[in-house]
Amino acid sequence: MRYDLIVVGAGIVGLASAYHFVKSVGGRILVLDALAGPAQGNTAKSVGGFRMGLFTSSVNRLISETTVKFYLDVQKNGYDLGIHQVGYLILLDESKYANYVKQVEEILRAGTAKLVSREELKKRVGFLELDLVDEESQLLGLRPIRGAIFSPFSGYLDVEKLANFYYEALVELGVDFRFNVKAERLRLAPLNRIGHPREPFAWQEKRIESVETSLGTFEAERFILATGAWSQELLDPLGIDSYVKPKKRQVFAVPARGGLEAFFKVDGFNEFGTMPMTFIPRGPFVAPRVRDKSLWMGLSDDIGRKWGLDFEAEDLFFVDNVYPLLRKIFPVIEGVRPQSKWAGCYSINTIDENPVAFRVMNLVVATGGSGSGVMKADSLGRIAAALALGRGDAELYGGVEVPSTLLSIHGRKVEPEMLVF
Ligand SMILES: Cc1cc2nc3c(=O)[nH]c(=O)nc-3n(C[C@H](O)[C@H](O)[C@H](O)COP(=O)(O)OP(=O)(O)OC[C@H]3O[C@@H](n4cnc5c(N)ncnc54)[C@H](O)[C@@H]3O)c2cc1C
C-alpha cells in the first residue's frame, strides 16, 4: 500500500500535522505510533499549560499565540478542551526583573500581559513570602521578589481532550492509524533507480522510500517525522541532525487540603478565585488544577540533569529540589509530600529552545517543543504540512502567513527563549 503521506508519531505534533495536511489537500494518509493510542507519549505527561504569547522569542510568541487562539476557538465552537484561563504569574527578583520586563515589553504594550507590583502581590496573596532575605533563602539562591509578570489569558487545557479533537477529526476524514507499530528505519532510495543492489550511491539524488516497522514496510510519497524526544533514533542512521535532545521533566501532584486550600482562595487573578499557574524562571512552578482541586508542582533542572530518555519519576527529586524552594516561597507547603508523580521528556532544541521544522528530501522533521510543544502544536503542524507540500508559506490560525522555513535549522533567525519552565 502506498500513501501520500506517512506521519511517524501520533503525539500532538504528529496529529496536528496530519490534520492540517489532510484539511489542505486530502489524500491517503497513515499515522503510526509505537504506543497503544493517540498522544500516549510525552504529550500525555504534559501539564497542558499554555501561555498567550508569554515568550521572549518573537517566533515562540507568534506560534503560541496563533495556536492558543485556535484552541480557544475550538472550545468556543463547542468542543470542550478543558481550557481554564487561570493565568500565568512569573515571579521575578530584582536581578531578573528589568531584563525580563524588557524582553516581554511587546506583549505588555499589547495588553496581553501586565506587571504586578510587589505591594499588589502582598495584598492579593497573603501566603506568598516576598522578603526572602534570611540565610536559608540566600543558600537556596532565592532573592526578594521585586514584582511579577501576569498573563491573564494563559492557563491550562486537558491534553487528552485536545488530542482527541484532532484524532476524531482525522478518523472522520479517513486517515489510517496504526498503533503499537514502531518505525524501525526510514529507508533511503535513489530518486532514479539504476537497478544496482548497493544503491543509493553518494552521487545519487535520494528520497525516503518507505518506513520499516514492526508490522512490515509502508511506502509513501512523503513523510513527516513527529517523534518528539525519540527523533534522533530515526535521524541518526540517516546522518540528519535535528539539534533536539531529550531531557527528563517531572510533575508531582497533591490534593489541596488544609493549608493548601489557600491556593484556591485568591481574588483578583481569574474567574475561578485561584492562584494562577506560578513560576520562577529556571526555578520551581506550582499549578492549581481547578476541577480536582489539586496542586501540580515541578522544576526544570538544567546542569546536572543528563540528556537522554528517562521516564522514572524520583521521590527524592521532589524532597531535595522542588520542596525546599516552594516551601520557602509558599510556607503553606510545609510538610507536603506528593500523592502522585510522573516523568516525561522535553524535546529540547539545544540551539535556542524554539521548535524545529525542516525538510530534507521528502522528509519533514517537526519537533523541539522545548517544554511548550502543546501550546505551539497547531502552528507547528501547519508549518510541517506546508513543508511536506513544498509550499513556500504556511498559513497560521487567523490568516497569519509565515515562510514555511521559519523554524528550519539552516539560516534560522530565531531569538533564544529565556522563559522556559
Ligand atoms: C512533564 C512535562 C510537562 C510538560 N508541560 C507542558 C506544558 O505545560 N505545556 C506545553 O505546551 N508543553 C508541555 N510539555 C511539553 C509537551 O508535552 C511536548 O512539547 C509535546 O507533547 C511534544 O509533542 P510531540 O508530538 O512532539 O511528542 P510526543 O507526544 O512524545 O509524541 C511523539 C510520539 O512519537 C512516537 N514515536 C517515537 N518514536 C517512534 C517510532 N520509532 N515509531 C513509532 N512511533 C514513535 C511516540 O510513541 C510518541 O507517541 C511538557 C512535557 C513534559 C515531559
Determine which residue's CA is closest to atom 35 belonging to ligand 1: 9
Average pLDDT for 54-79: 96
Angle at 209 between CA 203 and CA 215, to 5 degrees: 140
Contact assessment for residue 336 and residue 323, using Cβ atoms and an 8 Å cutoff: yes
Q: Which residues contact 12 (CB under 8 A, 6 or more apart)?
A: 39, 43, 159, 162, 163, 166, 373, 374, 377
Average pLDDT for 394-417: 95
**pTM for this structure?**
0.97
Q: Which band of pLDDT confidence, cut at 50, 70 and 90, is reported for residue 420?
A: confident
pLDDT at 411: 87
Residue 281: is its pLDDT beyond 80? no
Q: Closest Cα partner for 341 from 280, 283, 288, 295?
A: 295
**Cell numbers for 80:** 470542550
CA of 368 to the centre of ligand 1 (A): 9
Residue 282: is its pLDDT beyond 80? no
CA of 95 to the centre of ligand 1 (A): 33
pLDDT at 393: 98
CA of 386 to the centre of ligand 1 (A): 21
Average pLDDT for 156-185: 98
Count Cα atoms within 13 angstroms, Cβ side, for 306: 4
Average pLDDT for 260-282: 95
**Cell numbers for 140:** 537556596
Residue 1: is its pLDDT beyond 80? no
pLDDT at 26: 98
Which residue from 227, 249, 252, 367 has its CB within 8 A of the most atoms of ligand 1, so it is best to mutate? Answer: 227
Q: Worst-scoring range by mean pLDDT, 95-104, 132-141, 392-401?
A: 95-104
Residue 377's CB is within 10 A of a number of other CB atoms, namely: 34
The amino acid at residue 95 is S
Residue 332: is its pLDDT beyond 90? yes
Determine which residue's CA is closest to atom 27 belonging to ligand 1: 228
Residue 301: is its pLDDT beyond 90? yes
CA of 42 to the centre of ligand 1 (A): 3
Q: Closest Cα partner for 175 from 37, 35, 27, 74?
A: 27
Determine which residue's CA is closest to atom 37 belonging to ligand 1: 227
Q: Which band of pLDDT confidence, cut at 50, 70 and 90, is reported for residue 418?
A: confident
Residue owning grid cell 493548601: 260
Q: Which band of pLDDT confidence, cut at 50, 70 and 90, is reported for residue 184?
A: very high
Average pLDDT for 296-313: 97
Ligand 1: list residues with CB < 6 Å.
8-14, 32-35, 39-43, 45-49, 182-183, 226-230, 234, 249, 251, 344-347, 367, 369, 371-375
Buried b (16+ CB within 10 A) or exposed e, 243-280: bbbbbbbbbbbbebeeebebbbebeebbebebbbbbbb
pLDDT at 273: 97
Q: What string of H, E and C letters represents the secondary structure of the chain? A: CEEEEEEECCCHHHHHHHHHHHHHHCCCEEEECCCCCCCCCHHHHCCCEECCCCCCCHHHHHHHHHHHHHHHHHHHCCCCCCCECCCEEEEEEHHHHHHHHHHCHHHHHHCCCEEEEHHHHHHHCCCCCCCCCCHHHHHHCCCCEEEEEEECCCEECCHHHHHHHHHHHHHHCCCEEECCCCEEEEEEEECCCCCCCCCCCCCCCEEEEEEEECCEEEEEEEEEECCHHHHHHHHHHHCCCCCEEEEEEEEEEEECCHHHHHHHCCCCCCCCCCCCEEECCCCEEEEEECCCCEEEEEECCCCCCCECCCCCCCHHHHHHHHHHHHHHHCHHHCCCCCCEEEEEEEEEECCCCCCEEEEECCEEEEECCCCCCHHHHHHHHHHHHHHHCCCCEEEECCCEEEECCCCCCCCCCCCCCCCCC
pLDDT at 243: 97
Rg (CA), the chain: 22
pLDDT per residue over 348-390, tens digit each?
999 999 999 999 999 999 999 999 999 999 999 999 999 999 9
Residue 394: is its pLDDT beyond 90? yes
pLDDT at 106: 87
pLDDT at 82: 97
Domains present along the chain, CATH in parentheses = 2-48+160-243+351-403 (3.50.50.60), 88-151+246-349 (3.30.9.10)
Q: Closest Cα partner for 247 from 305, 187, 160?
A: 305
Q: Worst-scoring range by mean pLDDT, 51-55, 57-61, 230-234, 392-396?
A: 51-55
- CA 99 – CA 118 distance, rounded (Å): 17
Per the prediction, the chain carries an average pLDDT of 96
Report which ligand 1 atom has the smallest distance to the Cα of 367: 26
From first CA to last CA, the distance across the chain in angstroms is: 43
CA of 11 to the centre of ligand 1 (A): 6
CA of 211 to the centre of ligand 1 (A): 21
More confidently predicted of 413 and 201: 201
pLDDT at 51: 94
Q: Which band of pLDDT confidence, cut at 50, 70 and 90, is reported for residue 176?
A: very high
Contact assessment for residue 179 and residue 35, using Cβ atoms and an 8 Å cutoff: yes
Contact assessment for residue 265 and residue 312, using Cβ atoms and an 8 Å cutoff: no
CA of 43 to the centre of ligand 1 (A): 4
Q: Which band of pLDDT confidence, cut at 50, 70 and 90, is reported for residue 103?
A: confident
Report which ligand 1 atom has the smallest distance to the Cα of 248: 53
Count Cα atoms within 13 angstroms, Cβ side, for 300: 20
**Cell numbers for 355:** 521548535
